[in-house]
Amino acid sequence: MASEAKKKKIAVIGGLTGCIEGATRVSANWMRWQVVRGKRLLLWETNPDILSRWAQSVIETEILLREVTQQESFVKECIQIVNANSDPVAKAIVPDMVEELITLDHEYDRLERTYETIVAGCPAGPIKSGYLWIRQQSYWYLRSDWLRQDCINRGGCCGRSCGCCETPPDPRRRKGWGHCTAQCACCKSVRGFRATERGKRLLQPKYDLTVFPWSHYSRQMFRAYVWSLD
């Protein structure tokens, strides 16, 4: 039992190795901060099960916030296109799209409150302080080569020259900024179809941090989202 707990703890502190591996790729201050966090975590006693459940919830909610934000941009683009069209039949769907925007606005507010509750629920310690510090950095998600490569692997805009991930859609939706989800308008226009359930699975591979041992993908998700490391 003790060795099982140790294995879980080692998985959770796995980012420390990444600090050293990534030393040549990140700024000195960023690196120093990550190493300090890693050392503090080694000395810090927290149940890895609680941390892994917290990390799973926070990552899931961040992805949902991005989905809603990107869906909003998609609907706004559709309204612009339809309004520029003189066809009255096409214009008839505008009220439905406006209705969808109102629903998405409420959904974003709901998710934002959920997100804040989850973050507040993280046990006080180096993970929480580090996570909050990283999220205060503008474009934190662009610092990670792994997150960029993951976006490319999922068919996202980092694999093209459009630059969508570098130009977030709405300054009032900061928590919805980040790499592409199944709802990205630009990706949809490239794919040319709405994602099926199977397609959505390809667009977001499965990860479950509550199940040990972690899969390679789960481990990388944890390192990228919580440690901001590759």
What's the rounded Cα separation, in Å, for the pair 202 and 144?
Answer: 21
195 binds Zn ion (CB under 5 A): no
Contact 178, 66 (CB under 8 A): yes
46 vs 73, which CB is nearer to Zn ion?
73
Q: Which part of the chain contacts Zn ion (CB under 5 A), choosing from 60-68, 88-96, 131-139, 162-170? A: 162-170
What's the rounded Cα separation, in Å, for the pair 41 and 16?
Answer: 10
User: From the list 157, 182, 224, 229, which residue makes contact with Zn ion (rule: CB under 5 A)?
Assistant: 157
Contact 163, 157 (CB under 8 A): yes
184 binds Zn ion (CB under 5 A): yes
Q: Which part of the chain contacts Zn ion (CB under 5 A), choosing from 57-65, 97-105, 150-158, 219-227? A: 150-158
134 vs 164, which CB is nearer to Zn ion?
164
Angle between helices 126-136 and 28-42 (to 10 degrees): 160
Vertex 42: Cα angle to 39 and 43 (nearest 5): 95
What's the rounded Cα separation, in Å, for the pair 158 and 149?
Answer: 8
Q: Whole-number minimum distance, CB 160 to Zn ion, in Å? A: 6
Maximum pairwise Cα distance, the chain: 70
User: From the list 164, 203, 221, 226, which residue makes contact with Zn ion (rule: CB under 5 A)?
Assistant: 164
Burial class (CB in 10 A: 0-12, 13-18, 19+), 30: middle
77 vs 107, which CB is nearer to Zn ion?
77
41 binds Zn ion (CB under 5 A): no
224 binds Zn ion (CB under 5 A): no
15 vs 156, which CB is nearer to Zn ion?
156
Token couple for 146: 């792994």
Q: Whole-number minimum distance, CB 153 to Zn ion, in Å? A: 10
User: From the list 158, 182, 221, 224, which residue makes contact with Zn ion (rule: CB under 5 A)?
Assistant: 158
162 binds Zn ion (CB under 5 A): yes
Interface ranges with Zn ion (CB under 5 A):
151, 156-158, 162, 164-165, 179-180, 184, 186-187
